Structure formats: structure tokens, C-alpha cells
Structure 1
Amino acid sequence: MAVPSAPPLPGAVFSVAEARALGLPPSRLRRKEFAAAGYGLRIVRGRERSLADQLRALAPEAGHTVASHVTAALLWGMWLPLHLDTAPLHLTRPLRYSQPRRRGVVGHNAALQQGDVVRSNGLLVTSPVFTWTDLACVLSCDDLVAVGDSLLRRQDAPPRGGSLPWPDPLCQPAEIQEVVERRTGIRGRATAVAAWGLLRAGVDSAPESHLRLLIHHAALPEPEVNQWITGPDGRVISRPDLQYRRLRIALEYEGEHHLLDPAQWHRDIERDDRLRQLGWVVLRFTKQHLRPENAPATAEKVRTALLARGWQPGWPT
């Protein structure tokens, strides 16, 4: 006689209620293969747990608790500062419900409208735009701009990361404006308003955003973002991170992967050589150029190139 198989587990992290609904007996939940993860929660020992795994038991699609703030930003793959990767879980409920209260969780209430919450991959998550406005109370204006740029990436951008399989762009500029104008009473709204005016579509990475902002803070003209350059025969030559097209100045941010991948490094060199053959100046930058102590020299590097090409302060490019 065949022995009936044990019911499958809900996941690496699950609630006792989920387990009972699947038919797991209380005796099994007391085994050493599980450990308590707070009131009414269990984790499977030895199994890797993603952020989404942790949240499915706390913010399931069927409930009223929503992953929000930094937690939602990580799920969406937004470009957060690195120190926020280990932030506690943030959960939000509509105003008519009590705040989530659980060890390791920061609870919130918010006036959530239908479009402010997304159901995806078994989770309830605040929308990309609502999440962005929530972050205005914990991020500097420059960091908030970088996060906002990550919402407006082009369709063919490199993989964004995160746990939610939504295509780029995650929203449109008009959607951001609508939520900023609606959420008048939130903490950090002045930061959100200032950052909104500095967002640009088509940026590939946070360092590119910070390089553009460094140029902005130095009162230099704003470069174009990720626009194609073609040769005299119409062939596509390059799409620099930033550029001054009329002055033929291209600015490229070189992430560490460019230096560690020999094939990528070779392509970068060939690309820049083709631009130089067309009369372009190519300026290259790394994360060291973006450090606060190096920002003045970085801005001067751009200023020198502009002046060498005939630009004068106050002139458009």
C-alpha cells in the first residue's frame, strides 16, 4: 500500500495558517527542520530565503498588508544607496487598518488608492511611483533623483534586478508628477518636488545619474542622456552615457565590470576610437571621480573640455 506523500511546503518562509490550510499537521511544524521567525511564522532551516520569500507570508496578494518604502524599492530593483540593502522590512496598510506590528518590521499607514498597489509574484507591493515618493523622507535629493531615473529607463536597458518581472520603463513621467502633486502631506515632499524636476528618462545606471548631477551642481550645461551617434554614412557608432552633441564631447562612466571583462573593455576602446575618428572628445569616468573630495576636479575636467571646444559660460551647448 502506497504511503501518501507529505503536502508541499508553502515556501522557504510561511505562516502557520498557510501550512494548516495545505494540510500540514501541527506535529510536523514542531520538527527541527523548521524554526520560528516571529509570531505565527516558520522558516525552513537550510533553505535560502529571498526578500520575496520573507514577504509572501507577511504581504500576500489576498491580504491588506503591502510591502513599501525601502522594501518595495528593493523588490522593484530601484537604484538605492548600498547601505539600505540591509534595512528592516517596511510594511504599509490602508488608513482604516492598524499599522503592522512585528519584530523586524517598520509599520506604516497610508492613503492608498487602487493604482498605488500592485499585485505581482504573489505579493502586494506599493507601485513604483508611490514607492518613490515614500523614499523622499529617507534619501537625499541626489539619491532620490537616481532612484527616480531607475523608474524611467528605456525598454532595451540592461537587466534591472529585483524580484518583480515588470518591463522598463516602470512608469511614465506624468505618473510621477500626479502622485507627487496628490501626496501633499508626506514627509520629504519638498525633496520629492525638487528631485522631480531633475529626473531624466533613458539613464542606464545610478552612477550616470550622479555624474549628470555633479555637472548640474557645478552650474555647467546639461548633457544629453544616452542618445545615438551616427557616422556620415548613417551607421550607428555609439550611444554615450552623456554627450554634448554640438560640441562633440562624449562622457562615459566605466563601471568595474568594464575593466574586469576583457571583451567589454575591448569593445569600449574600439567604440571610443571610432568616435575620435569623427572628431569627438571622449571623457571617461569611474566611481573615484564621483567621490565628494574629487567632485571639483571632475567638474573641472568637463569644464575644460567644454571651453576647449569653444563654449563660454552662459552659452547654450
Structure 2
Amino acid sequence: MWKGAVAVRPDSGSCGPSCPHAAAVVHSFGVRPRRSGSPRDRRVVFPTTGTAGACRRRDAVRLLGKHRVRSAISSGEFSSPWPGVLVDPARAAEPSTVIAAGWLASGPDAVITGPTAAFMHGCTAAEPTPVHVIVPYSSKKRTRPGLVVHNGMALDRDRRLVSGLPVLCVERVVTDLLCTAAPANALAIADQVLSALPPNDRPALRDELHRRLRERPDPRGTRIGVRLLDLATGAAESPAESWLLWRIVDLGFPVPEVNHWVCTIDSEPRYRVDLGWPELKIAVEYYGYAAHAGREERDVARILELERRGWIVIVVRADDLSSMHRVESEIGQAFITRGMPLRGRAAGGLRARRHRELRAG
């Protein structure tokens, strides 16, 4: 069985370690077997001194040495999304890691702002990437792929610490987004922030947001910001409902009531409609795929029951949010049926004009 120091199969007919049919080399006498902890097998562990799987390159060099850091980047054990910043590849797709890396790349004076800050405050309607940060006007940091750099004032006053990162307070974040973000997204974020509070606490936050809008140093967007804040109730149950509310109001229709309860003859709540005009018994129902998959029969029965009670029901699906032509037509026809043709309805009245837009005449 044994030939030299090599273990082979008894029936292999092997003549030595070079035979392809040999079993496995146990070890060679006089030669120390390679240990699993040798440099060739040892994986460089990402530094634990970083934030959420990200750290500054100079900190990693101080802990591990320049050569090991360079080798880890070359082998893919570390990744570097921006100069001077390292990320653990195992966490490179996590929003918290990307946000931390973006802040590290922007310097210690940067504060997380915009939709990224809204996301960190718990608003799922906000997209965390690209990472938005705000820096003092004296900073030379500039926008780069995946990282949007803004300039602003009074950062220390509104700075808060969220998950170990400096983030603008939620009041300033919402105020800025109401003036600068896409209206549908800004309304969804304002609705989520209000819905996180008990109903009795919402008026105080609304008053604070109105104050900040009045005192905002940059007046651009404050007109639509005030209008969006007036639309936000905190009653919407999903961002899609807020998006739909904005689209309907932007088309020039009267502001509908959000999540209105339809009661029985005994005044007991029976059905809740997403958006509606109760006096006219016109309802708009949003049927998102995830929430209504497999509920088709139930939804049809619900609509029939509302119609028996005298309601006109317009169903909106996710695809309709990108093109509201059918929904606009059906809502308009519903108002006509109720004897309110809404003549002179103007769509897009709150939309900002393009910079230096030419005026007629």
C-alpha cells in the first residue's frame, strides 16, 4: 500500500506521486506541511473601525499597512467607490454602507441631506442613492458619480446624529424637499413624516414646516412647497397614494379626501376608499400589484358593493401613474355625471416655469 511517503489506492497500480491515479499526498517526510494560516491563505479582514462597512483609506493603511491595503483592493477584498474611501464588498450594496462611504468621501464638514437624509429618518418613499450631502460654501467638494454635493448655511444648527452619521434634522429635510424635489415624491415624504406622529402632534410639526418655508433663505420653490404641505395629511397608507393624490390635484381637480370611510345606514364604518369626494360619491381606488395580487374577486365584490351604494369608482393601477389620460377622462366624466363639469380646469398650475421662460407678447 505504501510507496515512499505517498498514500495511494491499493488497486490503482500507481507507481508514485506523479501518477494521476494516486490518492492524496499526506505529506513528504522532512518537509513541513503548509499551514492554513500562511500569508497565501489568509484573507485580509476589513477594519472594524469604519462606519457601517466603510472606512477611510488612510485609517485602513494605519491599521494594516500600505502594501496589504493595496493588495486587498487589487484582489477585490476591499472596494473603493470614491477616492480615499474603502468599502467591504460583502456590504457594498447596503444603503447604510453606501451612505457612510459617501459621507466619508465628502469630508468631516459634510452633512447628509435631501432624499438620503429622509431615508435615514425612516421615509421609505425616499431613494437613498445617489448619496446627497451638503457642505459649507467654503468647501471645494464637488458632485461626482453617485454623490451629489450641495452647498448651504446653518448646518451646525440643524445637524443631528442618526446611526452614527451627521444628518440634517427632519424639519429642514422636509422643508428643502418640498421646494426642490419632484412634487409627487416630496408629498409622499411629507405624508410619511406626518404619519409617524400621533394625530395630535401633527399640527405642531406642520406649523414648524410653514415657518421654515417662510424663512427659507432661497425663495425658489416655496410657493409649491406651501401647496404640497397643505396637501399632506399623514393619512396616506403608501407612497403610491400620495403620488396619486398629487397627480389628481395637478390635473386641476378639487382636492379629494384621503382614506374616507363609507359607513352603513347605522353609521358603522364599512369600506374605506383611498381618495374620494364624499359629497359627490366619487371614489378613486389605487390597486398596487403587491397589495392586491390574488385579491381580484374580493376587489370586484367591493367595487360592486360601493356602486350599489351609489358611488362611482375609478380604479387606478401602477401603470396609470406614468400616464393619467384614462384616469383623467374617467374622473372628468364622473364629475359631469354628478352635474359638475369643472369648466376651466387648468392642469399643471403649480408647476414651476422653466428658467427664463419666454412670455407671450
Q: Under a length normalisation based on structure 2, what TM-score does the superposition of the two structures give?
A: 0.64
Aligned counterpart in structure 1 of residue 83 of structure 2, from 21, 36, 39: 39
Partner of 2:280: helix, strand, or coil?
A: coil
Matches within 5 A, 1:23-62: 23-26=63-66, 28-30=68-70, 31=72, 32=75, 33-59=77-103
Residues 232 and 93 (structure 1 numbering): CA distance in 2 closer, same or farther, change over 3 Å?
A: same
**Residue in 2 that maps onto 1:285:** 316
Specify every segment of 5 or more residues in structure 1 that has no aligned partner in the other structure, as ranges: 157-167
**Residue in 1 that maps onto 2:125:** 79
**Residue in 1 that maps onto 2:257:** 224
State whether residues 237 and 275 of structure 1, in contact with CA within 8 Å, keep that contact through their aligned partners in structure 2: no
**Residue in 1 that maps onto 2:149:** 107
The CA RMSD measured in Å over matched residues stands at: 3.8
Structure 2 CA distance, aligned partners of 1:124 and 1:194? Answer: 30
**Residue in 1 that maps onto 2:171:** 129
Partner of 2:79: helix, strand, or coil?
A: strand
**Residue in 2 that maps onto 1:161:** none
Residues 117 and 99 (structure 1 numbering): CA distance in 2 closer, same or farther, change over 3 Å?
A: farther
The answer to whether structure 1 residue 66 and structure 2 residue 111 are counterparts is yes
Residues 221 and 49 (structure 1 numbering): CA distance in 2 closer, same or farther, change over 3 Å?
A: closer
State whether residues 208 and 253 of structure 1, in contact with CA within 8 Å, keep that contact through their aligned partners in structure 2: yes
State whether residues 72 and 131 of structure 1, in contact with CA within 8 Å, keep that contact through their aligned partners in structure 2: yes
**Residue in 1 that maps onto 2:335:** 306
Given residue 287 of structure 1, which amino acid in structure 2 is its aligned partner? A
Shift of 1:26: 4.8
Q: Under a length normalisation based on structure 1, what TM-score does the superposition of the two structures give?
A: 0.71
Partner of 2:160: helix, strand, or coil?
A: strand
State whether residues 253 and 284 of structure 1, in contact with CA within 8 Å, keep that contact through their aligned partners in structure 2: yes
**Residue in 1 that maps onto 2:161:** 119
Shift of 1:127: 2.7
The answer to whether structure 1 residue 15 and structure 2 residue 56 are counterparts is yes
State whether residues 87 and 101 of structure 2, in contact with CA within 8 Å, keep that contact through their aligned partners in structure 1: no
Given residue 299 of structure 1, which amino acid in structure 2 is its aligned partner? E
**Residue in 1 that maps onto 2:347:** none
State whether residues 141 and 194 of structure 1, in contact with CA within 8 Å, keep that contact through their aligned partners in structure 2: no
Residues 8 and 266 (structure 1 numbering): CA distance in 2 closer, same or farther, change over 3 Å?
A: farther
What is the percent sequence identity of the aligned residues? 25
Structure 2 CA distance, aligned partners of 1:113 and 1:179? Answer: 14
Aligned counterpart in structure 1 of residue 303 of structure 2, from 272, 288, 292: 272
Structure 2 CA distance, aligned partners of 1:283 and 1:102? Answer: 44
Shift of 1:125: 1.6
Shift of 1:47: 3.9
Partner of 2:195: helix, strand, or coil?
A: coil
Shift of 1:284: 1.0
Structure 2 CA distance, aligned partners of 1:34 and 1:215? Answer: 48
Structure 2 CA distance, aligned partners of 1:185 and 1:16? Answer: 37
Aligned counterpart in structure 1 of residue 210 of structure 2, from 177, 187, 195: 177
Shift of 1:265: 3.6
Residues 239 and 18 (structure 1 numbering): CA distance in 2 closer, same or farther, change over 3 Å?
A: farther
The answer to whether structure 1 residue 243 and structure 2 residue 276 are counterparts is yes
Residues 36 and 222 (structure 1 numbering): CA distance in 2 closer, same or farther, change over 3 Å?
A: closer
